């Protein structure tokens, strides 16, 4: 309900204004997921046009979502530029000069890394080229969090950018589109948007997550990812100490990874409680009333404390007490 207009409000309006306030974008729109966001973006704003994209960004996201296929489905024409490992501003410029491309697209290669003899065009370089030639720049960030330089850069340079609601943002499954008011207005007016808009439960969950970002309340995924190693060490030692009366347990330093292939090749300094016998305990904990998932490394079962929530320690202790009783 729109309080000031005294009539039914537009679904999504609250979330859109929060997104604009958090990111500085002129306008925002939310759809079911980021795959839908990318498809809507290309269908509504690039159909029938040539879209220049680096050969290093023709990726497949999980679940068989392939950038070239989605581009073809949207009615846009794929114009590959550069090579797998090296793409320069001149490669995009050549595609524009030849009249092959009328749109520039940047897709974040979320789940793989090219290392070695590589070169990529920065977003400001690409944005400056788009502005200089008067063509739109679209950017699929994959994942983004408010306040990050990547998101600020995309809002500053891209006409429209999009990212997932359930990756670094830590909210529900959703696709978030941010950008200039004019192209966002066209996306909202496109019939495809009606088919891709999220339900009110997803919008309510997204609003709650965005309010946490706005108010500086810890969003769980963000707090877990940024937990300092020193704090993790203290928590692992406390857990090991709490479990020791029930079962031999030590705190060990280890390495963790961000799940879902979101940060390929990156490891996080981590701390865990280590237990033995690894295989049998792993099975026991996994079958526990609240399944407890550890990782077996060098013959030990490691319970990484990074993803534990308050109260989880007591559940682990209960599972180990049951293990001990079964063997008494
Ligand atoms: C994850 C990802 C998508 C798909 O996002 P969903 O919200 O899972 O649909 C699309 N593009 C990129 C670059 C991604 O990383």
The string of pLDDT tens digits covering residues 212-231 is: 999 999 899 899 999 999 99
**Ligand 1 pocket test, candidate residues 30, 31, 34, 66, most atoms within 8 A of CB:** 34
Q: How far apart are CA 87 and CA 54, in angstroms?
A: 6
80 alpha carbon to ligand 1 midpoint, in Å? 20
Supply φ then ψ for residue 199, to 5 degrees.
Answer: -80, 170
Residue 7 DSSP code: B
Nearest atom within ligand 1 for CA of residue 109: 13
Q: How far apart are CA 244 and CA 238, in angstroms?
A: 10
Share of the chain above pLDDT 70, in %: 99
Q: What DSSP letter does each residue of 62-77 carry, written as one string?
A: GGGEEHHHHHHHTT-E
Residue 175, number of CB atoms within 10 A of its CB:
25
Contacts of 275 (CB under 8 A, 6+ apart): 243, 247, 248, 249, 281, 294, 300, 301, 303, 320
Residue 112 pLDDT greater than 70, yes or no:
yes
pLDDT band at 261 (very low <50, low <70, confident <90, very high): low
The residue nearest atom 11 of ligand 1, judged by CA position, is: 142
Q: How far apart are CA 59 and CA 55, in angstroms?
A: 9
The residue nearest atom 12 of ligand 1, judged by CA position, is: 142
Unique residue bearing structure tokens 């204004």 = 17
16 alpha carbon to ligand 1 midpoint, in Å? 20
Instruction: For residue 153, give both structure tokens.
Output: 């850069």
Q: How far apart are CA 233 and CA 253, in angstroms?
A: 8
Residue 23 C-alpha from the chain's centroid: 16
pLDDT in tens, 21-61: 999 999 999 999 999 999 999 999 999 999 999 999 999 98
- More reliable by pLDDT, 53 or 114: 53
Q: Kindly provide the b/e burial profile for residues 135-155, where b requires at least 16 CB atoms within 10 angstroms of the residue's own CB.
A: bbbbbbbbbbbbeeebbebbb
The residue nearest atom 1 of ligand 1, judged by CA position, is: 142
12 alpha carbon to ligand 1 midpoint, in Å? 21
Pocket of ligand 1 (CB under 6 A): 33-35, 38, 61, 107-108, 110, 140, 142-143, 164, 175
**Ligand 1 pocket test, candidate residues 40, 60, 61, most atoms within 8 A of CB:** 61
3-state secondary structure of 216: coil
The residue nearest atom 2 of ligand 1, judged by CA position, is: 142
Residue 263 pLDDT greater than 80, yes or no:
no
């Amino acid at each position: 309900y729109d309080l000031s207009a005294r009539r039914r409000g537009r679904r999504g309006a609250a979330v859109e204004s929060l997104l604009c306030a958090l990111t500085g974008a002129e306008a925002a729109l939310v759809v079911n997921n980021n795959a839908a966001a990318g498809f809507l973006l290309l269908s509504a704003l690039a159909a029938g046009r040539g879209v220049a994209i680096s050969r290093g960004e023709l990726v497949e996201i999980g679940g068989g979502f392939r950038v070239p296929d989605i581009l073809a489905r949207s009615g846009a024409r794929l114009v590959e530029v550069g090579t797998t490992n090296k793409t320069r501003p001149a490669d995009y410029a050549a595609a524009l000069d030849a009249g092959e491309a009328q749109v520039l697209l940047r897709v974040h290669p979320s789940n793989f890394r090219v290392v070695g003899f590589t070169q990529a065009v920065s977003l400001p370089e690409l944005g400056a080229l788009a502005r200089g030639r008067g063509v739109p720049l679209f950017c699929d960030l994959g994942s983004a969090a408010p306040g990050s330089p990547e998101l600020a850069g995309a809002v500053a340079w891209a006409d429209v950018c999009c990212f997932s609601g359930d990756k670094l943002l830590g909210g529900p499954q959703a696709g978030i589109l941010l950008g200039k008011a004019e192209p966002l207005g066209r996306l909202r007016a496109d019939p495809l948007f009606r088919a891709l808009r999220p339900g009110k439960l997803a919008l309510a969950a997204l609003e709650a997550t965005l309010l946490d970002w706005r108010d500086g309340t810890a969003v769980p995924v963000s707090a877990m990812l940024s937990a300092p190693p020193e704090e993790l060490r203290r928590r692992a030692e406390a857990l090991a100490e709490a479990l020791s009366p029930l079962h031999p347990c030590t705190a060990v330093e280890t390495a963790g990874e961000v799940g879902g292939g979101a940060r390929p090749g990156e490891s996080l300094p981590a701390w865990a409680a280590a237990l033995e016998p690894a295989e049998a305990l792993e099975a026991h904990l996994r079958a526990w009333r609240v399944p407890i998932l550890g990782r077996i490394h060098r013959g030990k079962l490691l319970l990484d404390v990074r993803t534990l929530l308050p109260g989880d320690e007591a559940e682990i202790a209960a599972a180990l007490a049951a293990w001990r009783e079964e063997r008494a």
